[in-house]
Amino acid sequence: MLQLDDVHAYYGKSHVLHGVNMRVRPGEIVSLLGRNGVGRSTTVKAIMGLVAMKGSVLFKGEELAGLESHKIARRGLGYVPEDRSVFPTLTVRQNLVLGMKSRRQKGRWNIDDMFTLFPSLRERADTAAGVLSGGEQQMLTLCRTLMGDPDLIMIDEPTEGLAPKIVAQVGELLEEIKNRGVSILLVEQKLTIALAISQRLYVMGHGQIVFEGTPEDLRSNSTVRKEWLEV
Amino acid sequence: MEFFLTSLLNGLSYGLLLFMLSSGLTLIFSMMGVLNFAHASFYMLGAYFAYQISSAIGFWPALVIAPLVLGLAGALLERYGLRTVHKSGHVAELLFTVGVALLVEEIVPLIWGRMAVKYAIPRELDFTLFSLFSTSFPAYRGFMLLVSVGMMVLLYVVLTRSRIGLIIQAALTHPEMVGALGHNVPRVFMLVFGVGTALAGLAGVIGGNAFVTEPSMAAAVGSIVFVIAVVGGLGSLEGAFIASLVLGIIQTFSVALDYSLSDLFAGSEVALLHDEALRSLFSIRISQMAPMIPYLVMVLMLIFRPQGLMGKRE
Ligand SMILES: Nc1ncnc2c1ncn2[C@@H]1O[C@H](COP(=O)(O)OP(=O)(O)O)[C@@H](O)[C@H]1O
Ligand SMILES: [Mg+2]
């Protein structure tokens, strides 16, 4: 479904990704793990057309490299950034509405689904998104992207800084997303939910993939965990 | 009292006209980070186009056609000029808009001459709306007020109620995210630029005949609008609104006020007034100082509140 071949990415002159190869198959949850600063967010941004890159990104058999990000989104890729970029002056409902690519878009999700999944968003539907708590903003960004009905959603560190109870809720939501036939590329640092829900995992170090395998492979490979994951 | 009321109305109509200009400038600045120095050129072109069109087919068609043409021209300028220059950074963009402004300033006198053109108020609106004792309020001023308020309400409704307005609001703070959700942000930029220049053109259409249509009008109004953008806080629509009204009213009053400091002290024999230099300073009339007041306000604002009225500190 998604296939990266020899992807390089750059911020100005600094060369951050050095030939990344990875793939996500239809219906899969795949995690991209690694310590801070290894290039996980950059990988996702490169796929989304948000940083300068070289190499090939195939999605549903078509090349994405070089396309503008709004075109990439319209091919069915969803992106949830790590910095919780809700539109602060708009209400929760307006944020969700802007997730849709057109006024009358129909897909797997509607606003009521989101409110059922996260009742606190329903209560605050008409408040400005800027005043929500960090956790609520995180949920809103995720729901907003889902409103665009992506076939593959890339989620950058959804559990960072969240209370354990909400982390569990996020895990459940990811399962629900998968059950509706959406593939997931999950960027994480901690192993907790990644090991529990992923079919396959990649570990990244210094702008390259250093490990690829199933949760069992990673559980039994303490060398990789020690060298590339544990702090 | 009647002087106060008519001056206030005049100031209001001038202030709202300034807002029609500064709102576009502000929206363009906050979306693209470009201070469009050519913005007032569209104001001038609006006046000249309206003059040309109204001498052929009348004022009312000109009122509609001139802003539409300038909106289209603005959109094309963004699409084929600014967007290309954008790749070379903000300084290049700034210089590009300065270049366009200078170009327009040279082309206009080539076509229409260096003297003011006879762009007159339409006959239908050339009467006195009401008179209060000795001062009168022209109907055309009322018309300007009406058009500006109408435009402002429309702009507000579109920005806060329509889907495209929400996309614009979102793109003000998070353009990348809006794009990643599948909205064509470059096209939104082009649209905003076009609407901004159309508004500037409309201001020219209704301002050009209320004031004077001449090649120096872009520079004159441009510097005031620049002051408004700074005083209001770069990128803040509310700030631009308040600053437009305040400066419009201050300027109207100061032009109309024919007093000097020495009038204030007239009668009382102040010893100071025997000094020659001080006497000439004291006899400067407020109306003579009027052109300088906006810049004075800007300088004071930059000293005491550099982020402007409503601006957020960087
Ligand atoms: N906007 C940027 N400009 C320059 N360098 C950046 C930028 N964003 C990230 N980097 C650098 O790129 C590298 C990878 O960052 P990132 O992809 O955010 O890592 P991760 O998401 O794995 O923590 C880091 O060394 C970081 O400092
Ligand atoms: Mg990151």
Q: Where are the domains of chain B?
A: 2-304
How near does any CA of chain B get to the CA of A86, in Å? 8
Compare CB distances from B170 to A72, A73, A87 and report the shortest one's residue: A87
The predicted pLDDT at position B1 comes to 67
Interface test with B, best of A84, A87, A109 (most B CBs within 10 A): A87
B312 interfaces chain A, CB cutoff of 8 Å: no
DSSP B260-286: BHHHHHTTS--GGGGSHHHHHHHT-BH
The predicted pLDDT at position B274 comes to 64
C-alpha A21/C-alpha B308 separation (Å) is 50
A11: Cβ contacts below 8 Å, ≥ 6 apart: A42, A51, A52
At A35 the three-state DSSP class reads: coil
The predicted pLDDT at position B272 comes to 55
Closest-approach residue (CA) in chain A for B187: A70
How near does any CA of chain A get to the CA of B177, in Å? 7
Residue A152, φ and ψ in degrees, nearest 5: -135, 130
Residue B59, φ and ψ in degrees, nearest 5: -65, -40
Residue B174, φ and ψ in degrees, nearest 5: -135, 65
Tens of pLDDT, residue by residue over B68-86, are 999 999 999 999 999 999 8
Interface test with B, best of A75, A85, A100, A145 (most B CBs within 10 A): A85
Contacts of B178 in chain A (CB under 8 A): 98
**Sheet order of strands, A2-11 included:** A14-24, A2-11, A52-59, A62-63
Compare CB distances from B173 to A87, A103, A145 and report the shortest one's residue: A87
At A27 the three-state DSSP class reads: coil
- In Å, what is the CA distance from B236 to each residue of A123, B41, B135? 30, 22, 36
The predicted pLDDT at position B253 comes to 85
Residue B165, φ and ψ in degrees, nearest 5: -65, -40
C-alpha B196/C-alpha B34 separation (Å) is 13
Q: For residue A45, which ligand has an atom nearest its CA?
A: 1
C-alpha A199/C-alpha A28 separation (Å) is 6
Compute and round to an integer the Cα radius of gyration of chain A. 17
Q: Going residue by residue through chain A, which has 231 residues, state the pLDDT in tens, using 9 for 90 and above.
A: 999 999 999 999 999 999 999 999 999 999 999 999 999 999 999 999 999 999 999 999 999 999 999 999 999 999 999 987 899 999 999 999 999 999 888 889 999 999 998 888 999 999 999 999 888 898 899 999 999 999 999 999 998 888 888 888 888 889 999 999 999 999 998 888 889 899 999 999 999 999 999 999 988 888 888 888 877
- For chain B, list residues with pLDDT below 50: 314
The predicted pLDDT at position B314 comes to 46
The predicted pLDDT at position B273 comes to 56
C-alpha A69/C-alpha B140 separation (Å) is 48
Compare CB distances from A148 to B179, B181, B185 and report the shortest one's residue: B181
Residue B18, φ and ψ in degrees, nearest 5: -65, -35
How near does any CA of chain A get to the CA of B188, in Å? 12
- CB-based contact A63:A13 (threshold 8 Å): no
**Hey, are the CB atoms on B182 and A144 less than 8 Å from each other?**
no
* Stated pTM of the model: 0.87
Query: Which residue type does B117 have?
Result: V
Q: Give per-residue burial for A158-184: e unless 16+ CB within 10 Å, then b.
A: bbeebeeebbebbbebbeebbeeebbb
**Hey, are the CB atoms on A85 and B167 less than 8 Å from each other?**
no
Query: Which residue type does B124 have?
Result: E
The predicted pLDDT at position A111 comes to 92
At A33 the three-state DSSP class reads: strand
How near does any CA of chain A get to the CA of B226, in Å? 26
Q: Which CATH class is domain B2-304?
A: mainly alpha
A2-229, what's its fold? Rossmann fold (3.40.50)
Q: For residue A204, which ligand has an atom nearest its CA?
A: 1
Compare CB distances from B180 to A69, A90, A97 and report the shortest one's residue: A69
Query: Which residue type does A65 have?
Result: A
CB-defined site of ligand 1, < 6 Å: A 11, 14, 16, 34, 36-42
